[in-house]
Amino acid sequence: MQSEIVISGFGGQGALFAGQLLAYTALDAGLHTTWFPSYGPEMRGGTAHCTTIVSDAPIGSPVVRHPRAAVVMNLPSLERYEPLVKAGGVLVVNSSIVERHVQRTDLQVLRVPGDDVAQELGDGKVTNLVLVGALLTRLPVLELEQVKRTLEHVIPERRRNLLAMNLQALERGAALADPLAAAV
């Protein structure tokens, strides 16, 4: 089965790294994958998004018109990708900064306070992984434990001090999205 995931936000929010982490995890799991980044001319503050495809079969093209899932970290990303996600797909919204609610009723919508959780953990730079943890609970294309193991190997040296916090961010995001956790 093939799953297309778009991760989008402002430059500097870690959208590209989150998508790359999913691609590396897919490789580690023996799956086929593509990672297709795109960003505006401004390195920080401009728009940045990527498409990661994970599949158990060869992938024909990295270009995706209607992804199975999207993680939107800001309002412009919600406005761009809400109409494009496949019916029945997953839309993870960073509710810390996106106040507008999703208009479509044919999606699994997860409103996750990614920035708030990241700040509780100690650094806003882990918002991306809070949202990825939530995504993987509803779109289990990769196991959370696999993502954690891969993260330990691919996190850049300059961000190594954030490894433990990133691992916690993945767990917190998954816990927030877990329907059993919400019922407790």
pLDDT in tens, 4-50: 999 999 988 999 999 999 999 999 999 999 999 987 665 556 789 99
**115, 159 Cβ separation under 8 angstroms:** no
Selection from 44-48, 80-84, 154-158 with the highest mean pLDDT: 80-84
Supply 26's token pair: 């897919």
The domain of 76 spans 2-183
pTM of full prediction above 0.85: yes
Structural domain count, the chain: 1
Per the prediction, the chain carries an average pLDDT of 92
* CA 49 vs CA 57, 73, 139: distances in Å: 24, 10, 19
pLDDT digits (tens, 9 = 90+) for 126-154: 999 999 999 999 999 999 999 999 999 99
State how far the Cα of 126 lies from the Cα of 164, in Å rounded to an integer.
10
Q: What is the CATH number of the domain that holds 43?
A: 3.40.920.10
Supply 147's token pair: 């993502």
Supply 88's token pair: 């029945």
